[in-house]
């Protein structure tokens, strides 16, 4: 009835952390240098990161990405004029760009209205090329 046994700390290399987070090793190094991701310097040039810290960072990034997606969401009338839909998407994209993206673990990457607009533009271009 004592305390639960503590889990051993798992240490990751910067490359392992990069693989886990789906980013490049230089990105991990940049986050470490900015203080966004805690790491321990081993020797003069190598870093070790705790698995718990990397997982916590991943969850914070994921939460922020979902918040950014929700903030940029637009109701689209499926039966509406495609030009009107594209104009609304452009307006949301411009408003999002004016707000800027915050630095740190709150960085939201991809998947927002810019991706929707890009996909819509690609589809429109494809239809024009096919003569549809």
CA Rg value for the chain: 21
Position 114 scores a pLDDT of: 42
Range with the poorest average pLDDT among 13-22, 55-64, 92-101:
92-101
Average pLDDT over residues 4-32: 89
Q: Is residue 128 predicted with pLDDT exceeding 60?
A: no
CB-count burial class (<10 Å; 0-12, 13-18, 19+) for 17: buried
pLDDT, tens digit (0-9, with 9 covering 90-100), for 22-81: 999 999 999 999 999 999 999 988 999 999 999 999 999 999 888 888 877 767 777 778
What backbone phi and psi angles, to 5 degrees, belong to 49? Answer: -120, 140
Domain ranges of the chain: 11-130
Please name the residues in contact with 9: beta carbons below 8 A apart, sequence gap of 6 or more. Answer: 50, 51, 52
CA 89/CA 118 separation, integer angstroms: 10
Whether the predicted model's global pTM rises above the 0.85 cut: no
- Given this model, what pLDDT does residue 113 score? 39
pLDDT of residue 51: 95
């Amino acid at each position: 009835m004592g305390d639960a046994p503590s889990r051993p700390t798992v240490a990751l290399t910067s490359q392992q952390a990069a693989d886990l987070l789906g980013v490049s090793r230089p990105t991990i190094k940049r986050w470490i240098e900015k203080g966004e991701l805690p790491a321990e310097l081993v020797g003069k040039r190598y870093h070790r990161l705790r698995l718990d810290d990397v997982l916590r960072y991943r969850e914070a990034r994921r939460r922020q990405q979902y918040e950014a997606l929700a903030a940029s969401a637009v109701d689209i009338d499926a039966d509406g004029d495609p030009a009107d839909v594209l104009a609304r998407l452009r307006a949301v994209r411009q408003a999002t760009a004016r707000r800027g993206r915050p630095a740190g673990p709150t960085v939201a990457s991809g998947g927002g209205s810019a991706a929707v607009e890009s996909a819509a533009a690609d589809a429109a271009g494809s239809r024009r090329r096919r003569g549809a």
